[in-house]
């Protein structure tokens, strides 16, 4: 039996869920969460062992074990049955391995939770860890590592680990590959499977585990289920493995590391070893320091670097969560000019930290930050049960039970001495400077062994640091002003009629704008959502126009940054970005000061000007962004080509990169009035906001742009209301687009095998969704697990402006895309039998699982608003989509579903329309040559030019009809 340990767990004021901490007889500590309103139930098991415990010469063993536990167990020996059960019941699952944790998690439709939990529990009771699966999964781990080799997001953190004490586990390579899990062990006479079982038996002990269960039932019922399924997990009473001592010795400090990245751009990372803030989480030293060093308001370090034209972003945060050691990290994206002034940039950072040290710890700043954190905690949005469970389970080892929900999010004890002591650790003599740029190619003398990153190291002397500081610009760095955006009115609006408003209502329409309004009837939070879509035909009329529109939106954000940063700190956010019809303005967060921020954003658009210096910085950053597209993963490139082939009137980034160098500030000055000269505003306002307020906001925006003696905008002509249209592939035809990967260094190839099915219609939608539900896990099992084609293997639905289809996505170094395409077709032939032989019971079970998934309620205002906005922006306006699709599912017969498969998806189906995008990596260049030289087959077309193909094809009609289609 379990022991219930009485403890009051601090929870948000608005949280109606119930919590209970229990400890099972095997010492497994569990948090039970009862949420009667949930549609999904979830579990997260955190095992207190990670790659820091990998044996020397078996790097990646902990990560490899994480992979292996998914295969099969003594109780459920059928391979892949766990994932099949989860996916076929509307769920998802995953796991990750970190430095000292391995976390396993899933969520599933609530009525299937108990069986799913039983299957999950077998990971820790009786996994098979079979010899056959061992070899296959070593290949999968190797494929995962291959995916990461050309990713700076993996390369640079590993370089930081490499430059540490070799005896400290921080130094290790955590992922593992073929070399560490097969070649090296074999050379030493070790059997990897034997070592795997030994690692599992020694480390997977119940007393090192923490479990979170999130379910619909009451706490007693959940406790009974947990006791039944988890109390037999073995405990060997093993102590937590700790590695006292710092990973960085004196020789790893006060160094400058120059490293060559994969992508364009220059980055600075200044890293200090510090006392882990987890030891002082109530005092929040790193919350305080991150807030000030990462601040972007007037007088901040970033504001000064930006004004000098040296930086485009700056982040400051603690890196790593354990009790033994930690790092404080400042990451700065440099411009080309900033790269030339690296020493000045670092010196200004040191100067700002010195200013903080000399100023002392300010109580008013701590109190302001603590107040914001407290408000955010008590008014936090609900998130998916799976992510909530992961967040708690992964930190249960670090915090006392009463703070399992709060964690370090709510500093409450003002201790200037503790904050000052951590601040004093951020000294120049304690710093590690990582300077990353392609400019260092050919200038380095060392190579990191796992990812082959080229780098060099030099010591920084005290005199060098002093010289940098004395020669740095003498700028007016100062502490931030008090935050005027902190919400003070958190009351919920009472409109009287809100409960009756189920869907968005069109409450206002003119030749200038339309307004859809939806009050908050579910979430009871003092927050609002405002989206304004500026439909400006000139914004997307050519590659040049699109680039200028992007620069326009980024310049606006640049100008607003100092002012609006205070709002973001206080939980009120805005964004301005390029959209399908022009550009969009979005505001989300506490409604209290929202109108103030909105008026400033609208004012900046109305009085737009071009600062040539900032134009040059944005243009440079945009050039690097476009150039870095070629370093995307091959499967991402394949998905981009698919989008480009299917969607009419889309300009490729290659053309945008071509025109960018020729654009100057003067071009934007001329372009902006023309872009804004004709516009229509499509608006959606939702949340804790009254209808009259929503109408007042849009009236204000209309007055700014369309009224007055010299209006900025004129209404659109009926002919100018643009629509997004999608290519209609010919039925019975198969199209292939082969192309070489854009990065010749990347050995991975990729395939997107797309089957276009239909235009949005409830019955066809649910048939397609049902097929995807049934086929997702078998796709993974066959193509990844059995055939080992690649770590990235997915089957997903695709929706382009209401045109629905399926896409198989596979990335591989093992086989070329042409071969993988054949294997996808072979899988579909193999899968026919599963469709034809499905029993009535299986069919009804799958239908029920899909219905349960569809009836899942939106968890927060942003999720709900995203759903309704999609209906508005695509033009489908089917706000009752869920109810209608559930009704369609309830009418659907098994024969109708089989007929759908036969007509649209089966190999040789009469209505089948297929498009295969094949991206060939460097390993498969010969296959590319032979595939592009293939003789044409009947009903198969090889696409040689995207734009000729697009022009030659028919288009689906658009849901977004002419102006005036929607009536008030």
User: What is the distance between the alpha carbons of residues 852 and 40, in angstroms, rounded to a whole number?
Assistant: 9
What is the b/e burial string over 527-558, where b = at least 16 CB atoms within 10 angstroms of the residue's CB?
Answer: bbbbbbbbbbbbbbbebbbbbbbbbbbbbbbb
445 and 266 Cβ atoms separated by less than 8 Å: no
350 and 469 Cβ atoms separated by less than 8 Å: yes
317 and 310 Cβ atoms separated by less than 8 Å: no
What is the helix (H) or strand (E) element at residue 423, kind and residue range?
helix 416-424
Closest among 603, 762, 607 to 672, alpha carbons compared: 607
User: What is the distance between the alpha carbons of residues 888 and 760, in angstroms, rounded to a whole number?
Assistant: 13
User: What is the distance between the alpha carbons of residues 815 and 784, in angstroms, rounded to a whole number?
Assistant: 12
User: What is the distance between the alpha carbons of residues 550 and 537, in angstroms, rounded to a whole number?
Assistant: 14
DSSP E strands in 625-748: the ranges are 678-687, 714-715, 727-728, 733-740
Closest among 91, 31, 80 to 850, alpha carbons compared: 91
526 and 489 Cβ atoms separated by less than 8 Å: yes
Is residue 441 annotated as part of the catalytic site, yes or no?
no
* φ and ψ of 673, to 5 deg: -60, -35
Q: Which of 79, 137, 144, 864 is an active site residue?
A: 137
Is residue 66 annotated as part of the catalytic site, yes or no?
yes
Which residues lie closer than 8 Å to 650 by C-beta, 6 or more apart? Answer: 643, 644
Query: What is the bridge-based pairing of β-strands 803-812 and 793-800?
Result: antiparallel
DSSP E strands in 376-470: the ranges are 432-437, 446-447, 454-459
**List of long-range contacts for 901-905, beta carbons under 8 Å, 24+ apart:** 901/771, 901/832, 901/835, 904/755, 904/757, 904/758, 905/755, 905/757, 905/771, 905/806, 905/828
Rounded to the nearest 10 degrees, the angle between the axes of helix 543-569 and helix 594-606 is 150
Beta bridge partners of residue 574, listed in sequence order: 587
Which residues lie closer than 8 Å to 424 by C-beta, 6 or more apart? Answer: 357
Token pair in block for residue 866: 């995203």
User: What is the distance between the alpha carbons of residues 760 and 865, in angstroms, rounded to a whole number?
Assistant: 20
Q: Which of 29, 59, 66, 79 is an active site residue?
A: 66
User: What is the distance between the alpha carbons of residues 641 and 16, in angstroms, rounded to a whole number?
Assistant: 46
- Using CA atoms, how far residue 14 sits from 21, 397, 968, in Å, is 20, 26, 36
Cα atoms in the Cβ-side hemisphere of radius 13 Å centred on 415: 17
Which residues lie closer than 8 Å to 123 by C-beta, 6 or more apart? Answer: 45, 69, 70, 73, 104
Which residues lie closer than 8 Å to 54 by C-beta, 6 or more apart? Answer: 60, 61, 62, 169, 172, 174, 176
DSSP E strands in 819-926: the ranges are 913-920
Q: What is the CA radius of gyration of the chain?
A: 29
Give catalytic residue positions: 66, 137
């Amino acid at each position: 039996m379990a022991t219930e340990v009485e403890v009051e767990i601090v929870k948000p004021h608005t949280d109606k869920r119930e919590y209970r901490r229990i400890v099972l007889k095997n010492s497994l500590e569990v948090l039970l969460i009862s949420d009667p309103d949930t549609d999904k139930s979830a579990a997260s098991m955190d095992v207190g062992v990670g790659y820091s415990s990998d044996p020397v010469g078996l790097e990646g063993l902990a990560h490899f074990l994480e992979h292996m536990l998914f295969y099969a167990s003594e109780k459920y020996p059928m391979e892949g049955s766990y994932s099949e059960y989860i996916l076929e019941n509307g769920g998802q699952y995953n796991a990750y391995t970190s430095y000292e944790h391995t976390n396993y998690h899933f969520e599933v439709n609530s009525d299937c939770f108990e069986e799913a939990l039983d299957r999950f529990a077998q990971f820790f009771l009786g996994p098979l860890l079979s010899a056959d699966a061992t070899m296959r999964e070593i290949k999968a781990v190797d494929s995962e590592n291959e995916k990461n080799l050309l990713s700076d997001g993996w390369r640079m953190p590993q370089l930081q680990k490499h430059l540490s004490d070799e005896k400290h586990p921080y130094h290790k390579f955590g992922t593992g590959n073929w070399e560490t899990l097969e070649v090296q062990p074999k050379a030493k006479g070790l059997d990897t499977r034997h070592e795997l079982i030994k690692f599992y038996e020694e480390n997977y002990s119940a007393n090192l585990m923490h479990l979170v269960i999130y379910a619909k039932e009451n706490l007693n019922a959940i406790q009974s289920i947990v006791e039944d399924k988890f109390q037999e997990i073995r405990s060997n009473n093993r102590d937590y493995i700790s590695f006292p001592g710092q990973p960085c010795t004196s020789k790893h400090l006060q160094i400058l590391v120059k490293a060559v990245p994969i992508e364009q751009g220059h980055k600075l990372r200044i890293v200090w070893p510090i006392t882990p803030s987890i030891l002082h989480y109530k005092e929040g030293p790193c919350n305080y320091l991150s807030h000030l060093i990462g601040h972007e308001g007037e007088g901040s370090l970033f504001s000064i670097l930006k004004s000098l034209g040296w930086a485009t972003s700056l982040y400051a945060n603690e890196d790593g969560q354990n009790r033994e050691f930690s790092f404080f990290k400042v990451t700065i994206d440099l411009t080309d000019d900033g790269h030339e002034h690296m020493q000045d940039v670092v010196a200004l950072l040191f100067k700002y930290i010195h200013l903080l040290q000399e100023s002392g710890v300010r109580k008013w700043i701590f109190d302001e930050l603590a107040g914001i954190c407290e408000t955010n905690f008590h008014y936090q949005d609900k998130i998916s049960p799976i992510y909530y469970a992961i967040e708690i389970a992964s930190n249960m080892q670090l915090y006392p039970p009463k703070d399992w929900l709060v964690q370090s999010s709510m500093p409450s004890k003002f201790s200037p001495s503790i904050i000052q002591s951590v601040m004093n650790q951020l000294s120049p003599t304690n710093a590690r400077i990582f300077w990353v740029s392609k400019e260092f190619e050919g200038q380095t003398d060392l190579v990191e062994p796992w990812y082959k990153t080229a780098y060099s190291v030099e010591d920084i002397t005290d005199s060098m640091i002093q010289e940098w500081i004395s020669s740095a610009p003498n700028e007016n760095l100062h502490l931030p002003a008090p935050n005027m955006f902190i919400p003070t009115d958190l009351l919920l609006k009472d409109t009287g009629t809100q409960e009756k408003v189920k869907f968005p209502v069109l409450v206002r329409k003119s030749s200038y704008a339309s307004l859809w309004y939806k009050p908050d009837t579910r979430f009871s939070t003092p927050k609002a959502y405002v989206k304004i879509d500026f439909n400006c035909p000139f914004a997307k009329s050519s590659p040049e126009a699109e680039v200028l529109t992007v620069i326009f939106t980024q310049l606006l954000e640049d100008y607003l940054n100092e002012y609006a940063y205070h709002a973001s700190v206080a939980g009120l956010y805005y964004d301005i970005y390029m959209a399908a019809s022009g550009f969009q303005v979005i505001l989300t967060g506490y409604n209290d000061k929202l109108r103030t921020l909105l008026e400033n954003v609208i004012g900046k658009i109305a009085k737009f000007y071009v600062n040539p210096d900032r134009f040059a910085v944005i243009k440079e950053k945009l050039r690097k962004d476009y150039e870095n597209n070629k370093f995307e993963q091959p499967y991402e490139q394949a998905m981009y080509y698919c989008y480009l082939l299917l969607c009419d009137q889309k300009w490729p980034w290659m053309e945008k990169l071509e025109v960018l160098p020729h654009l100057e500030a003067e071009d934007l000055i001329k372009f902006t009035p023309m872009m804004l000269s004709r516009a229509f505003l499509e608006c959606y306002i939702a949340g804790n906001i009254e209808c009259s307020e929503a109408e007042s906001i849009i009236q204000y925006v209309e007055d700014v742009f369309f009224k007055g003696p010299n209006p900025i905008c004129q209404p659109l002509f009926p002919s100018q209301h643009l629509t997004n249209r999608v290519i209609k592939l010919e039925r019975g035809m198969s199209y292939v687009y082969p192309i070489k990967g854009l990065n010749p260094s990347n050995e991975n190839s990729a395939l997107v095998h797309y089957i276009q099915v239909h235009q949005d219609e409830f019955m066809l939608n649910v048939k397609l969704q049902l097929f995807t539900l049934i086929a997702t896990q078998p796709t993974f099992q066959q193509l990844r697990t059995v055939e080992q084609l690649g770590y990235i293997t997915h089957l997903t639905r695709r929706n382009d402006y209401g045109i629905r289809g399926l896409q198989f996505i596979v990335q591989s170094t093992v086989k070329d895309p042409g071969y993988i395409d054949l294997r996808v077709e072979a899988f579909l032939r193999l899968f026919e039998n599963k469709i034809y032989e499905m029993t009535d019971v299986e069919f009804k079970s799958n239908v029920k699982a899909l219905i349960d998934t569809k009836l899942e309620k939106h968890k927060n205002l942003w999720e709900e608003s995203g759903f309704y906005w999609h209906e508005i922006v695509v033009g489908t306006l089917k706000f009752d989509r869920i109810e209608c699709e559930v009704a369609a599912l309830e009418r659907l017969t098994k024969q109708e579903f089989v007929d759908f498969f036969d007509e649209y998806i089966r190999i040789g189906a009469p209505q089948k329309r297929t498009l295969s995008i094949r991206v060939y990596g460097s390993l498969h260049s010969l296959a590319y040559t032979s595939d592009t030289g293939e003789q044409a087959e009947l009903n198969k077309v090889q696409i040689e030019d995207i734009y000729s193909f697009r022009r030659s094809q028919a288009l689906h009609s658009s849901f977004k009809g002419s102006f005036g289609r929607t009536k008030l």
